[in-house]
Structure 1
Amino acid sequence: MLNRKSVADGYPEQDHMEDGLLLVLTSPGRPVSPWIDELKKQAIPTLQREIHYAKLHVGFKDPRRPYAVVEWTETGRHTLERRWVLAQFHRSLRQQWRVKKLCLFLAASSEPVQELMLAEDAFLAAMQPNDQGNDWARVDILSTEPDQLQKSDPYTALRWEAMQGYRHWINENPDELTSIEIGNRLRKFASEHGCEFREMGPEELRREGLNLLLAVGQGAQRSPSRLYIATHQAHKSGKPLMLIGKGITFDTGGINLKPFESHVNAMKNDMGGAALTAHLFQALVKSGYDGPLVLVIPSCENAIDANAMKPGVVVKSHKGLDVFIEHTDAEGRLILADAMSYAQSLFKPGLTLMAATLTTASLRQYSNYFTGVHFASEELQKLLHQRGQKWGERFSCWEEFLPFKMANTTKAADLTNMGRLASHANIGGGSSVAAHFLREFASHPLVHFDIFCSCWNWSGDYPGVAFGATGAPFNTLFDVLRHHGQELAAVR
């Protein structure tokens, strides 16, 4: 259980329960209250720990109430880096102290959300696999500045619920979260919140020419090809903001079978883009987003079957471009291309934000800590970096580049789904080439987020997660879109 509470600036004796650890989170370069200084003086020198530039003063108020005060010896470090530093302490908390209750005290800060992220990490790092409970029996977050925290994070409950939902979808077993189940959940939300909802099955997909989406799912039985479209405030004037998410519920690689080295054991996360955009859409609707908003999710399983899509075929896309299916494990770009072409022709959005676990190559390009962003305007890039500092998430932004575009050309058709740089290049363009493939199908402004690297704890040390989904980059995107979505989607 995670509880949030407003308190006075003083030792929280009533909240620091027996058999519970008090963790005081301070802000770098800011003076602390006298009672916190006193805790530091009373700390036991032999228990003091220093992790990079975080000093932990550890002691006991009485034999059954241990505490630790975090003191930062460097300022100006990115919030994600501070989260990473403190995560090393979080992982040892339960084992070292043998306590089941955690009390986190947020000291006065000019950016209270940054300390809130460190506090939420302590809870999330204790989540059990597949979100089957939490190792902490109780976690309390105490704040002395509720007004300032509310101003910085005005939709705390909505944000937390939606971010947790995003993580949970990714962590779910793929035989349960099928394309059909995704549709059931979206339909239920739309019905309860006054949104319009549409489901397109095989017959309608075929009639509308979404042949790439059909091809990827043609071998799937449990999780067949579907396209879901939900709209909010569609009657409003102005260009809508469109969210598109890749919903491959499990990726075997198809006939070009994905080897273990390509993370096949984690491919239930290949619907991460759908999970992210669906929960962004839901949180925006619940928060009262006042502009036209469209959610588009193409979904299926990339299965191995006698009827599965075969390498070497040419398929005509919704846009009319012929695509050479050179490799069946480059399937995400196919379903997204058809979905975007179709949805943009219907809604003519001012801006499309697409999210997908598109390429394993992004893990090499951006590491586990950055989200790759393609084709964002300078304005959006600035917002992502600013709000990313606030929420402890990082982005690597890439612009249009002709060699990446040309890497998707082939003599066999208009485009190949296995784009590559010239043969003399040592390393392929990976995420960038795939993003440029998608751009060929866009008729309106597109920003693509390759979240493969950041949405899953590949490195094993991403802050705030023990195993599986990280929650990145939900918090930053919700903040940016809730406050700037309508202006970003405005006609330029």
Structure 2
Amino acid sequence: MTIQPSDKPLLEWAGDSLAIGLFEDAVELTGELATLDQKFSGVLKELIAEEEFKGKANSSIFTRVNPGSPVRKLILVGLGKPDELKLDTLRRAAAAVARVGKKQKSKILGFSFPLWNNDPAASAQAIAEGVELALYQDIRFKSEPEDKAQIETVDLLGFGGQEAAIARAKQIVSGVNLARELVAAPANAVTPITLAETAQAIAKDHGLQVKILEREDCEKLGMGAFLGVAQASELPPKFIHLTYKPEGTPKRKLAIIGKGVTFDSGGLNIKGAGSGIETMKIDMGGAAAILGAAKAIAQIKPDVEVHFISAVAENMISGRAMHPGDILTASNGKTIEVNNTDAEGRLTLADALVYADKLGLDAIVDLATLTGANVIALGEDIAGLYTPDDAVASQLEKAAQTSGEKIWRMPMEEKYFEGLKSGIADMKNTGPRPGGSITAALFLKQFVKDTPWAHLDIAGPVWTDKENGYDSAGATGYGVRTLVNWVEGSGE
């Protein structure tokens, strides 16, 4: 599929389907739209009246145009109130149009959308992202393709000269789709071994540096927390360190850490009926996000050095499994009493954070499908942001707003750490049930000494059970767009 900017006047465009964005309570046809309506024998005005179309956000209608017309079908999509227009409004509207266009078997699709904030580049990028995200299909595990109808060309009318913005959208979406594929793939396809191979492939294809630490390397570094989680699996753990370095002196040096548990059985605290164990292939959603971000950032080439880190393992059951009550020693010397083997993600992140903290960075962000408590607090669409650093929090909030990915800053209530204290070790790996997502973040905080740090709990938005905006049911690739925006904006 080709998405291209076009300077062709609206009244002269020809193709299968023409999509027009209209604001709420402003659907009166004037100027160019009135002329277009006359050209199509009043079909626009008639459609608006018959369907009682008000232009509300997330609404769309379509109709066939008279035979012989240069346009076969017209699609109207609501953009909400003009003063509430956001980039994500355009992104979601474009996604809705793309889905309608595909269902109507349109090969050539045209967009006539307004600008956000008088910014043609940002607007074109958002529209292109919406189209690309909505039309993504994961058919790797299907014996036969389900739908052969494809959109071939998308024209963005009035966006002449925005080739770079459209190219950037494609680069970012390539990273989102990689993350989607990694999360959606079953645990017998995405293992610690294949995830490390994915990192190596990204490095080879895009000129990044890569280091894969094997079990012996991790033992030498004292990564007892990570290796405790990995010890029951028949598959070896892999510690991934992928590095992007710009030409010249970087403005900043950052690290992004992703939880990489490729399957979580719960360990000896095994997940029982109703626990969602069959979905635990998604427990490497953080690792998927950082690899997707690495792929996108390597193509965009910002002037920021970025380290992508993941301690990857399975949490399994065997005669070698760590027991409830075991004491593990992390690579910073902190001792941890394991009172729940199903709180394994924070153990792998602990050693990854210690490793990153020694790299002399300006900031660290980790992403993890860490707690069900965060889903209870914020629902399935919103990630929790936990950090003691206001500057990093502000950067991430701004990056998320631009990307359309939702985050909400949560409190770091220090007194809750009392619930993690152990009588025989420095801390336990879980605390009381109340405030479980906060105590998880406070646990992670113990493994960052010198670097500004933030934790994103993405347990909710990493997966959706139904079509949601530009996401089809399944893996969302959550976090990639926010990470890319954060990396690019953090040097300001």
Q: Normalising by the residue count of structure 2, what TM-score does the alignment of the two structures yield?
A: 0.84
| Matches of 2:91 and 2:198, distance apart in 1 | 34
**In structure 1, what is the equivalent of residue 40 of structure 2?**
none
Indicate conservation of the 8 Å contact 1:27/1:108, yes or no.
no
Once the two structures are TM-superposed, the CA of residue 242 in structure 1 deviates from its matched residue by 1.1
Deviates more, 1:313-322 or 1:35-44: 35-44
The alignment partner of 1:244 has SS state of strand
- CA distances 1:2-61 after superposition (whole Å, capped 9, x unpaired): 5334242404643x22xxx43323466889873434443142644455686555453322
Distance 1:12 1:394, change over 3 A: farther
**In structure 2, what is the equivalent of residue 205 of structure 1?**
218
Tell me whether 1:333 sits opposite 2:323 in the alignment. no
Q: Which of 133, 144, 166 is the equivalent residue of 2:179?
A: 166
- CA distances 1:253-278 after superposition (whole Å, capped 9, x unpaired): 12212235332222111111111112
Indicate conservation of the 8 Å contact 1:210/1:338, yes or no.
yes
Once the two structures are TM-superposed, the CA of residue 171 in structure 1 deviates from its matched residue by 1.5
Q: Which of 425, 447, 458 is the equivalent residue of 1:413?
A: 425
Deviates more, 1:119-128 or 1:209-218: 119-128
**In structure 2, what is the equivalent of residue 36 of structure 1?**
33
| Matches of 1:365 and 1:160, distance apart in 2 | 29
Tell me whether 1:359 sits opposite 2:359 in the alignment. no
| Matches of 1:391 and 1:319, distance apart in 2 | 35
- CA distances 1:285-313 after superposition (whole Å, capped 9, x unpaired): 33223333222111011122232222221
| Matches of 1:88 and 1:453, distance apart in 2 | 22
The alignment partner of 1:471 has SS state of coil
Once the two structures are TM-superposed, the CA of residue 453 in structure 1 deviates from its matched residue by 1.1
Indicate conservation of the 8 Å contact 1:220/1:302, yes or no.
yes
| Matches of 2:158 and 2:198, distance apart in 1 | 37
Indicate conservation of the 8 Å contact 2:467/2:473, yes or no.
no
Q: Which of 16, 19, 23 is the equivalent residue of 1:23?
A: 19
* 1:45-84 correspondence runs (5 A): 45-48=49-52, 53=57, 56-62=60-66, 65-77=72-84, 79=86, 82=89
Indicate conservation of the 8 Å contact 2:96/2:469, yes or no.
no
Indicate conservation of the 8 Å contact 1:454/1:472, yes or no.
yes
Distance 1:34 1:167, change over 3 A: farther
**In structure 2, what is the equivalent of residue 343 of structure 1?**
356
Tell me whether 1:375 sits opposite 2:381 in the alignment. no
**In structure 2, what is the equivalent of residue 470 of structure 1?**
476
The alignment partner of 1:403 has SS state of helix
| Matches of 1:336 and 1:429, distance apart in 2 | 19
| Matches of 2:462 and 2:182, distance apart in 1 | 12
Tell me whether 1:316 sits opposite 2:329 in the alignment. yes
Q: Normalising by the residue count of structure 1, what TM-score does the alignment of the two structures yield?
A: 0.84
| Matches of 1:86 and 1:157, distance apart in 2 | 18
- CA distances 1:446-489 after superposition (whole Å, capped 9, x unpaired): 1111111112114x2532122211232322321221232x35xx
| Matches of 1:154 and 1:123, distance apart in 2 | 11
- CA distances 1:408-444 after superposition (whole Å, capped 9, x unpaired): 22224211111226xxxxxx21222111100011112
Question: Which residue identity does 2:191 align to in structure 1?
Answer: T
Q: Which of 440, 448, 460 is the equivalent residue of 1:442?
A: 448
Question: Which residue identity does 2:468 align to in structure 1?
Answer: Y
The alignment partner of 1:228 has SS state of strand
Indicate conservation of the 8 Å contact 1:243/1:296, yes or no.
yes
Deviates more, 1:461-470 or 1:230-239: 230-239
Distance 1:476 1:309, change over 3 A: same
Indicate conservation of the 8 Å contact 2:253/2:363, yes or no.
yes
Indicate conservation of the 8 Å contact 1:129/1:468, yes or no.
no
Indicate conservation of the 8 Å contact 1:211/1:315, yes or no.
yes
Once the two structures are TM-superposed, the CA of residue 92 in structure 1 deviates from its matched residue by 8.0
Once the two structures are TM-superposed, the CA of residue 281 in structure 1 deviates from its matched residue by 2.5
Question: Which residue identity does 1:322 align to in structure 2?
Answer: T
**In structure 1, what is the equivalent of residue 10 of structure 2?**
10
The alignment partner of 2:289 has SS state of helix
| Matches of 1:174 and 1:243, distance apart in 2 | 23
- CA distances 1:304-353 after superposition (whole Å, capped 9, x unpaired): 223222222111111111111111111100001012113322x1222111
Indicate conservation of the 8 Å contact 2:184/2:281, yes or no.
yes
Distance 1:71 1:286, change over 3 A: closer
| Matches of 1:354 and 1:93, distance apart in 2 | 37
Deviates more, 1:197-206 or 1:433-442: 197-206
Tell me whether 1:479 sits opposite 2:491 in the alignment. no
**In structure 2, what is the equivalent of residue 425 of structure 1?**
none
Distance 1:89 1:415, change over 3 A: same
Once the two structures are TM-superposed, the CA of residue 82 in structure 1 deviates from its matched residue by 4.6
Indicate conservation of the 8 Å contact 1:80/1:393, yes or no.
no
* 1:88-487 correspondence runs (5 A): 93=100, 98-99=104-105, 101=107, 103-111=109-117, 113=122, 117=126, 120-121=129-130, 124-129=133-138, 135=147, 136-138=149-151, 140-146=153-159, 155-222=168-235, 224-233=236-245, 236=249, 240-345=253-358, 347-375=359-387, 377-420=389-432, 428-443=434-449, 444-458=451-465, 460-484=466-490, 486=491
| Matches of 1:452 and 1:12, distance apart in 2 | 48
Distance 1:305 1:269, change over 3 A: same
Distance 1:266 1:5, change over 3 A: farther
Once the two structures are TM-superposed, the CA of residue 251 in structure 1 deviates from its matched residue by 1.2
- The number of residues matched between the two structures is 472
The alignment partner of 1:297 has SS state of strand
Indicate conservation of the 8 Å contact 1:48/1:57, yes or no.
no
Indicate conservation of the 8 Å contact 1:52/1:85, yes or no.
no
| Matches of 1:291 and 1:118, distance apart in 2 | 26
The alignment partner of 1:146 has SS state of coil
- CA distances 1:98-132 after superposition (whole Å, capped 9, x unpaired): 53547251423134546764664455445445566
- CA distances 1:216-257 after superposition (whole Å, capped 9, x unpaired): 1111124x2121112233995776211111111111112212
| Matches of 1:148 and 1:416, distance apart in 2 | 57
Distance 1:435 1:48, change over 3 A: same
| Matches of 2:243 and 2:136, distance apart in 1 | 33
Once the two structures are TM-superposed, the CA of residue 88 in structure 1 deviates from its matched residue by 11
Once the two structures are TM-superposed, the CA of residue 71 in structure 1 deviates from its matched residue by 3.3
| Matches of 1:102 and 1:256, distance apart in 2 | 54
| Matches of 2:233 and 2:489, distance apart in 1 | 40
The RMSD of aligned alpha carbons is 3.4
Distance 1:374 1:54, change over 3 A: closer
| Matches of 2:480 and 2:439, distance apart in 1 | 24
Identity %: 23
Distance 1:403 1:153, change over 3 A: farther
